Amino acid sequence: MSDDTPVIRFFRGSKPIGVVAVVPDAPILEMAEIAGVEIPSNCTSGTCGTCLVKLRGGEVDLPEELPPGLDEELVELGGTLTCCIKPKGSCEIDVIPPAW
């Protein structure tokens, strides 16, 4: 990876657990799998919330209407769904979901 290649860095709390180059138009869950990072998932449509993680840094492409597994409070806490949300560039993801 070159220095200007966008990447996603995955963490479990403060421990780094994987890094992967951003794949255009791919959801975060797909890139986690490439990096060997396990994130639980179930519906792959944003309905169940099983794949909820915490966005530590960077930006993601949130739809205008949030999927049922995500609400404004979770977004304010850094919550994002990996099955249907795509990064806008380099990001840092904590696989531990935000506490409410």
User: Is the model's pLDDT at 34 over the cut of 60?
Assistant: yes
Q: Is residue 100 included in any domain, yes or no?
A: no
> What span, in angstroms and rounded, lies between the C-alpha atoms of 83 and 100?
21
Residue in this structure with the two tokens 């869950």, named with its chain if needed? 29
> What span, in angstroms and rounded, lies between the C-alpha atoms of 71 and 65?
10
CATH of the domain at 11: 3.10.20.30
What's the domain range around 40?
Answer: 7-94
Helix %, strand %, coil % of the chain (to 5) = 15, 30, 55
Q: What is the pLDDT of residues 39-73, one digit of tens each?
A: 999 988 899 999 999 999 999 999 999 999 999 99
Q: What are phi and psi of 31, to 5 degrees?
A: -70, -35
Q: Is residue 99 included in any domain, yes or no?
A: no
User: Is the model's pLDDT at 16 over the cut of 90?
Assistant: yes
> What span, in angstroms and rounded, lies between the C-alpha atoms of 92 and 96?
12
Distance of CA 59 to the CA centre of its chain: 10
Q: Is residue 33 included in any domain, yes or no?
A: yes
CA end-to-end span of the chain:
36
Percent of the chain with pLDDT over 70: 97
Confidence (pLDDT) at 2: 60
Looking at the whole model, is its pTM more than 0.85?
Answer: yes
- Compare 45 and 16 and report the one with higher pLDDT: 16
The number of distinct structural domains making up the chain is: 1
Q: Is residue 1 included in any domain, yes or no?
A: no
Q: Is residue 46 included in any domain, yes or no?
A: yes
β-bridge mates for residue 54, sequence order:
79, 94
User: Is the model's pLDDT at 1 over the cut of 60?
Assistant: no
